[in-house]
Each structure stands twice: as structure tokens, then as C-alpha cells.
A and B are shown apart, each in its own frame.
Chain A
Amino acid sequence: MDRPKPGAGPDLVVAIFVLLLGMLCLWQAMVIPVTPLYAQVGPKFMPYVVGGLVVAVGIGLVLSALRGGWSHGIEEVEHLPPTNWRALGLLGAGLIANLVLIGSLGFVFAATAQFVLVAAAFGSRHPLRDLGIGIAVSLGAFLAFDKLLGVNIGAGILEGVL
């Protein structure tokens, strides 16, 4: 076998991930306790089948990656711009801000923080304007869902104020 073509490396990582996912499923199937309850097919059967399927597919993908991979042949990937770490970083920060703040400060604050960071990730240069839009969007959405539809999205410190 020749040296792997460029692009095969990432494909191999993906293939191994699929393989591990299947093995995770098989392992979890094994630790399901057996019930004394009568059942023609127990709770373990389906997880074994699914785990087996994913492992088999994973092996297939590993073989495909070793033969040069598949993603270099996709037109969109060929013209892929370099990874934009700044955008990904800001977007990730936005998601984390949402995760951390939503429990304590509530939806409106968390969503606004996320809005400003995500907008910045996609190249917006007006954080103050985004802050205004973010507050308007998340407050409007909160009121619509909370008051009209009765969906509780977490008022946080605004509990009782709104």
C-alpha cells in the first residue's frame, strides 16, 4: 500500500471515532443488568445489534481511510478555506457563556451574552449594537414563550420582575 494521500489522516480519526462509538455501545449493552422479568427479547439485544452495526461500519470506514480516505474527493472540501480559529473560539465562548449563565442569571442574560459573542464570531464589529439587538431578541422571545405559550425558559434573577 502506498503512502496515504493527503486528507486521509482526518478521515482516519473520524473512522476511529465511529469505531469507538460502536464499542462504547457494546460495552454499555454488556453492563445492562439482566432482569428476571419474562421477555422473548431482553433489553440487551438491540444495543448489541446497534453496537455491532456501528463497529462494522467503523471498520469499513477505517479501511476506506487507509485506502486514501473519502473527503478529499468532495468538491466543497477541496476548496475549503483554512480553519477560522477566531470565529470558532468566539462561538465556543458564546456557547459556554450560555451554559454557565443560564442557571444563575437566567435566560435573558445568558442569551444576550451568547448573542454578542456569536455575532462577533461571524465578523460583527459593533458589540454595543449587538448588545441592544441581543437584549431585544432574547427579552422578546422570553416574553413570547413565557407569557403566550407558558414555556418556562428560566427567568433567573429577573424572576418576579418580568
Chain B
Amino acid sequence: MDVWSGLALGFGNALTITNLGWALLGCFLGTAIGVLPGIGPALTIALLLPITFQVSATGAFILFCGVFYGAMYGGSTTSILLNTPGESGSIITALEGAKMAKNGRAGPALVTAAIGSFVAGTVGTLGISFIGPVVVELALKLGPAEYFSLMVLCFATVSAVLGGSALRGLASLGLGLLIGLVGIDLQTGQPRLTFGVPELLDGIDVVLVAVALFAVGETLYLAWTHVGGKQEVREVGRLMMSKQDLKRSVGPWWRGSLLGFPFGVMPAGGTEMPTMLSYYAERKLVRPEHRHEFGTTGAIEGVAGPEAANNAAAAGVLVPMLTLGLPTSATAAIMLSAFQSYGIQPGPLLFTSQADLVWTLIASLYIANIMLVVLNLPLVGLWARILKIPQPQLYAGILVFATIGTYGISNSVVDLLLLYGIGIIAMFMRRFDFPTAPVVIGMILGPMAEQAMRQALTISQGDWTTFITRPVSLCILLIAVLALAGPRLWGLVVRNRADTAPTA
């Protein structure tokens, strides 16, 4: 099926009243929950996963697309008005956006973030529609050996390339892989790492781990360092951009989007790097008379560019997720497990076996994107009010929903114990600067990598050299090695530049 007939099919399915309703609900819920400080898209989708018990696959994925884009919009609002980035990609937005808000320019910052997200979402969704099928063509030629090497590359990039330290990233990845091992080995039926606990035979649910990391761990950490007092929510003010604001934003929107998308598509996923690069690029490219605003009163370019890069990269992550079945961000890992709960395995065959679902999903990304830009600006007052929910009741409520997300699946107190146990580990991870995303990615990708490795070795009749004698596999492994060594050098360059930058 070519792109145009695919899109026609998708829009045909998505533009029914029911499905538009799901999209609207998703956008609304996604933004509302994404606005809550500390809650990013991954946790939002994890908490809404129970919906998959009751709703058809198409409806649920349209909803998740809305939630996915919505939670990112919501995150930028929190960064600007509260200076509390909900996920690593919004840190840069918070840097300049919060400064603008402090100087009474919250309105233009919110508008440029919203329109920037729209531009990025459009670029990203167009990218998914046109690049997705191309990647599928290539992916169909890959065997298990290449898949295994691709996953090794993912492991290397998500744990060692991103974040502050390769060692701590690998420790997080190791924890994720370890959690992924728990349960019955699919090939031989042997229980592994279950410690004789029958509840562990089915393995540990990814929702449980996501909720433990992002909700319980975060709440525990906040209690640990709690110092009373109220957080200040900045006033929104006038939601208008001056002509000059608009003129200064257009360039960053496009540059950020075009920079962010390829980063998302590559298995080097993650949004930190493109947002950082976009920030430095905009600082370099800004007209000299505005340069002093960076880091002082807040420069609109520093919100427009990184926010666009963030959203475009997040959209790009859907390409490897849908076409290869490889999740490269925590959010994508959770979406993958949503697919699995419907018995659908994302991968190259998805575009043929579930063409209906894939194209409807892509069409609903376009729809969600338009809905959000229409919905978000008029409702910004409402989002700002959500930000004013006092901390005590907010975190008490988050923990109630954390219980539902885990106990609701299994009705097992063992799962609650696990939730709190992993939550305590997550609290220490937060304190000692271990990244959390590699845990989720490791636990999802680990079993997939093991399966691919075993298949590859079965095909090669136990010959381990299959991974390095197949040229594509060898190339991917070499890139993985490069990814492990290269960033050390690149990190030095960035650090040197960051040293010369005015600190936040």
C-alpha cells in the first residue's frame, strides 16, 4: 500500500465521530495529566493502560496518540509556569521559558511553545508517514542476527550515550534487563529469578515498573527533600505574540523540528541531545541585539527551538517503534506493551498485517496535533489552574492512581510490594543521578534481544560468528562500539561550550 492510499484509509477510519471523540479525550486527558508537575508522557500512558481492557485496539491507540502529543504540550506549560520540567526533554524549555515567565512574558512563551509543538508535530507526523514505509522495506530484509545487533545498539545508545555517566546508565540498563529476565523462559519453560514466588512466574509488568519509577520513586524523593512552603505558579498574562515574537520564532520552529526528528528516528533516541543542540544553535544564530536575553530575561528563540526539537524527536521515536518494534524511549516502551496487550507485535509486518490500524494511528496523530493547537491555547487558563492543585493532595492523588495501575491489573499484594520496592530503588536512583529510562527500555528490549539472539544462533546452527560475518549486523555492531566511544569526545566539546554559557 502506498502512502497516499494508506493515509486515505487512515483518515477514513479516524474521522468517525467515535474515533474523533477518542482523539479529543486523549488530547484533553494527556494535556491535563501532562501538566501535573513531575508527570511526563510515559507515566500518563502507563496510568491509562487499563483502558485497553475495555476498548478496541483502534480506539485505544487513537486515545494514546492524543495522550502522547497532549502530555508533551502539557509538559511545556509546566516548564514555563512552574520551572519544573516533567521529563528530560523539557529541561531546556524550562531554562529560557521560566525566565520569560519571571519577566512577565509567560504568554508569548506559552504561545511559541504551543505553535512550535504544532510545527514539530506536523514535521514529525509527515516524517512518520513517508519514512515509515521506507524503513519497513529495509526492515523486511533484516534477519534475527541484524535485529539482535540493532538492539545492542539501542542498549548502547540509551544507556551510555545519553545522561551524565555511561557507568550509571549501564547500571540502570542492567537493572532493567534483570527485571526483564524474571519469569518463565519462553523457550525452555524454566522459571528464572523468581525466588520461588509464584506471582513472579508471569514476569513483572512494565506498567508496574513505570509507575514505580515515575510516580512512587518521584513522590518518595520529593518527600525526602520536602521543605514546606508553596511553589510559585507564574501568571499567564496576555496570550499574544507580538509581530516581533512571531518573526523571531519562525526560524527556530523549523530548525528545531528538522533537527529533532532525525534524532528521534535513529535508535539513539532520546530528546536531550536534539533539544540541547537546538538551544546552542539558536544562541549562535540569534540576532546580536537579542543575544543578551539568553539566560537573563529569557529569549523566545530558546523556547521555540528546543520545544520544537523535543516534540519532533518524540514523534520520530514512533518510527523505530512502529516499523522495527524497537522502543527507544520510555514512552515508546509503554506504547509497545500496549500493543502487546492486544496481541499485536509491532515490527515490519505490522504495516501489512495491520495496515488499517497503523494508518488510522498515523492519521490520528495529524488530527491530535491540530486538535491540540486549537484546544491548548484557549484552555491555558484551565491548565494553569491544574498547576495550582496543592502539593499534598496532588501527590496523595497520584499514589491512589499508582495503586489502581498495579493492583487493578493483578489484584495481588505481591505486586504492590514490588511497586513500593522498585519505588524505593527509584528514589535512590534519583538522588544518586541514575537515569530511569534505560530501566524501562531494558526490561522491554531485553527479552526481545534474547529471543533474537537465540533465533539467530538456531539459524546459524550455533555459530557465534554469525553476528560479525553478516555485513549489516557487523556494521550495526561497529556503530554501537562507536556510539559507546564517540560521545566521550563529543561530551568534552559540549561541556566546554556549556562552561562558557551563563549558568541557569
Does B472 interact with chain A (Cβ within 8 Å)? no
Complex interface: chain A residues within 8 A of B403 (CB): 98, 102, 107, 110-111, 114, 153
**A120's contact among B168, B219, B392, B453, by CB below 8 Å, is which?**
B392
Does B130 interact with chain A (Cβ within 8 Å)? no
Complex interface: chain A residues within 8 A of B462 (CB): 40
Interface residue ranges of A32-79 to B (CB < 8 Å): 32-33, 35, 37, 39-43, 46-47, 50-51, 53-54, 57-58, 60-61, 64, 70-71, 74, 77
**Which of A11, A71, A145, A150 neighbours the largest number of chain B CB atoms within 10 Å of its CB?**
A145
B176, closest chain A residue (CB): A50
Task: Determine the interface band of chain B, counting residues with CB < 8 A from chain A.
Answer: 35 or more
Complex interface: chain A residues within 8 A of B219 (CB): 91, 118
Interface residues in A, total, Cβ within 8 A: 74
Complex alpha-carbon distance, A41 and B399, angstroms: 42
Binary contact readout B276-294 vs A (1 if CB under 8 angstroms, 0 otherwise): 0000000000000000000
**B54's contact among A40, A110, A148, by CB below 8 Å, is which?**
A148
Complex alpha-carbon distance, A116 and B50, angstroms: 25
B55, closest chain A residue (CB): A149
Does B465 interact with chain A (Cβ within 8 Å)? no
Complex alpha-carbon distance, A90 and B223, angstroms: 9
Binary contact readout A122-154 vs B (1 if CB under 8 angstroms, 0 otherwise): 111000001001100110010001001111111
Complex interface: chain B residues within 8 A of A120 (CB): 392
Interface residue ranges of B191-233 to A (CB < 8 Å): 191-193, 195, 219-220, 222-228
Interface residue ranges of B341-389 to A (CB < 8 Å): none
Cβ–Cβ contact A84 & B227, under 8 A: yes
Does B411 interact with chain A (Cβ within 8 Å)? yes
Complex interface: chain B residues within 8 A of A121 (CB): 223, 226, 392, 395
Cβ–Cβ contact A114 & B408, under 8 A: no
Does B393 interact with chain A (Cβ within 8 Å)? yes
Cβ–Cβ contact A87 & B396, under 8 A: no
Cβ–Cβ contact A114 & B178, under 8 A: no
Complex alpha-carbon distance, A96 and B396, angstroms: 14
Does B139 interact with chain A (Cβ within 8 Å)? no
Cβ–Cβ contact B400 & A141, under 8 A: yes
Complex alpha-carbon distance, A22 and B171, angstroms: 10
**B416's contact among A10, A99, A145, by CB below 8 Å, is which?**
A99
Complex alpha-carbon distance, A70 and B453, angstroms: 35
Does B450 interact with chain A (Cβ within 8 Å)? yes
**B190's contact among A33, A74, A114, A122, by CB below 8 Å, is which?**
A33
Cβ–Cβ contact A40 & B457, under 8 A: yes
Does B481 interact with chain A (Cβ within 8 Å)? no
Complex interface: chain B residues within 8 A of A87 (CB): 223-224, 226
Cβ–Cβ contact A25 & B193, under 8 A: yes
Cβ–Cβ contact A133 & B404, under 8 A: no
Interface residue ranges of B1-59 to A (CB < 8 Å): 50-51, 53-54
B455, closest chain A residue (CB): A40
Cβ–Cβ contact B428 & A95, under 8 A: no
Complex alpha-carbon distance, A154 and B407, angstroms: 8
Does A81 interact with chain B (Cβ within 8 Å)? yes
Q: A6 to nearest B CB, angstroms?
A: 15
Cβ–Cβ contact B433 & A70, under 8 A: yes
Does B469 interact with chain A (Cβ within 8 Å)? no
Beyond A28-B192, A71-B433, whether A95 also contacts B396 by CB under 8 A is: no
Complex alpha-carbon distance, A126 and B44, angstroms: 29
Complex alpha-carbon distance, A122 and B170, angstroms: 33
Beyond A39-B188, A124-B393, A153-B407, whether A137 also contacts B226 by CB under 8 A is: no
Does B247 interact with chain A (Cβ within 8 Å)? no
Beyond A88-B220, A102-B416, A154-B411, whether A138 also contacts B400 by CB under 8 A is: yes
Does B458 interact with chain A (Cβ within 8 Å)? yes
Complex interface: chain B residues within 8 A of A83 (CB): 224-225
Binary contact readout B160-193 vs A (1 if CB under 8 angstroms, 0 otherwise): 0000010110110111011001000101111111
B177, closest chain A residue (CB): A50
Cβ–Cβ contact A123 & B228, under 8 A: yes
Cβ–Cβ contact B192 & A153, under 8 A: no
Give me 20 A-to-B residue pairs in the complex whose CB atoms sit less than 8 angstroms apart, sorted by A's number: A14-B428, A21-B178, A22-B174, A37-B187, A37-B188, A41-B454, A46-B181, A47-B193, A54-B171, A57-B174, A84-B227, A102-B407, A110-B403, A115-B396, A115-B399, A116-B396, A118-B395, A119-B393, A119-B395, A134-B400
Closest 4 CB pairs of A and B: A124-B392, A122-B392, A54-B174, A119-B392
Chain B residues with CB under 8 Å of chain A are: 50-51, 53-54, 165, 167-168, 170-171, 173-175, 177-178, 181, 185, 187-193, 195, 219-220, 222-228, 390-393, 395-397, 399-401, 403-404, 407-409, 411, 413, 416-417, 420, 428, 431-433, 446, 450, 453-454, 457-458, 461-462
Chain A residues with CB under 8 Å of chain B are: 10-11, 14, 18, 21-22, 25, 28-29, 32-33, 35, 37, 39-43, 46-47, 50-51, 53-54, 57-58, 60-61, 64, 70-71, 74, 77, 80-81, 83-84, 87-88, 90-91, 94-95, 98-99, 102-103, 107, 110-111, 114-116, 118-124, 130, 133-134, 137-138, 141, 145, 148-154
